[in-house]
Structure formats: structure tokens, C-alpha cells
Amino acid sequence: MVSAIEEEVVDGYLVRRYPGGAVVRALISEEPELTPAPRVLTHKQFRDRLSFGEQLLLDNFSVAEYAEADPKIQALGVMQRAEVRTAIATFRDAQNVDLDDPATIRLVTLLGSLELLDEPSADRVEQILRGAQ
């Protein structure tokens, strides 16, 4: 590979001159490079993706008083409630929240499929997992 003998910026272009007279011009982009959203979050960062009502559900799902007052939880069968409790326990046991971890995906999709999220839809699940607003 031949190295440039001279480089300079001219009118927003990087100009490189090479031995033998070759000149290469490249437009310098002034737009910042987009950084992808982090895929591994702290629990706080993950909770920030949830509405207050969804946070209440995660925090109190196993509290009898709360469960008795929430018609969505009341409508669940015994095995469905057990599945949600296990998914929440796995979430709490994690040191951080990896949005690509099957356990995280399982928790969010389970809550969505059981209509426990504020908006029971695939769109809300996607919003939480992808960070879309």
C-alpha cells in the first residue's frame, strides 16, 4: 500500500496526494456517527423504558394485596402466574439486563402476551426491547 505524501483539508474535502501525482478527494462528513443504543442495561435503565404502571406490576406481582386488586392478575391461571413470578425472579437475579438475553425477551413477551403491559400489543413489547418511543 502506498502512503500519501501530503494530506490537507480543502473546502470540506480531505485531499491526499500520492507519489506519481495521484490525488484522492474525500468528502468529510460533519454529521456525527450514530451510536447504537446499548443492549446491556442497568436495571434502572431498563425500568426507565417501562411506564410507572408496568414498574408497579414488576415490583408487586407477588404481593397478595396488589394481586387481589389487579383484575389483569386475577384473570390469570395458576400456571400463568407461576410463569410470570419465575420470569420476574430471573430478571431480579440478573446483575444487568441484556436485551438480547432469552430470559429478558421471555419476560417482556410473556407480560405482553398475557396483556399485563399498559398496551397489550407486540408494538409495546418492541418498544421496550428496542427502545423505540
pLDDT 10s digits, 40-96: 999 999 999 999 999 999 999 999 999 999 999 999 999 999 999 999 999 999 999
Q: Encode pLDDT of 16-46 as tens digits.
A: 777 777 777 777 766 656 666 668 999 999 9
In three-state secondary structure terms, 129 is helix
Angle (nearest 5°) at CA 111 between 109 and 116: 145
Distance between CA 120 and CA 101 in Å, rounded? 21
Those residues whose C-beta lies under 8 Å from the C-beta of residue 101, and which sit 6 or more positions away, are: 94
Prediction pTM value: 0.68
